[in-house]
Amino acid sequence: MGFGNMGKMMKKMQKLQVQMAKMQEELSQRLVEASAGGGVVMVKANGDGELVEVVIDPTVVDPEDVDMLEDLVLAAANEALRKAREMITEEMGKLTGGLNLPPGLL
């Protein structure tokens, strides 16, 4: 590979880095939502993979059955985080042309 081609490739990589940084910033503002128990527990996560909101319908709060509520919260949280990862992978794939680049490569 000649130096001219190497220079072009480096410029493309730099452009891709800028685009990915912009996309990461945009994704950090986007939210995904998941629920459990027919909607009695709802959890939102952002594109940074952080949980940002948990809403629990008061009718599901039973002091005699805390285990069920914990399971519902856990199920909704895991689904919200899965959706956030899926959103990130999908959006970043648009920039990289579907290449599965290791985290931190760019």
Q: What is the mean pLDDT of residues 80-99?
A: 86
User: Does residue 106 surpass a pLDDT of 50?
Assistant: no
pLDDT number for residue 81: 96
Contacts of the segment 60-65: beta carbons below 8 A, 24+ positions apart: none
φ/ψ of residue 65, rounded to 5: -140, 60
User: Whole-model pTM?
Assistant: 0.74
Q: What is the mean pLDDT of residues 7-19?
A: 87
> How many residues are present in the chain?
106
Residue spans per domain, the chain: 3-96
Q: What is the pLDDT of residues 36-64, one digit of tens each?
A: 999 999 999 999 999 999 999 999 999 99
Which CATH superfamily, name and number, covers 3-96? Answer: Nucleoid-associated protein YbaB-like domain (3.30.1310.10)
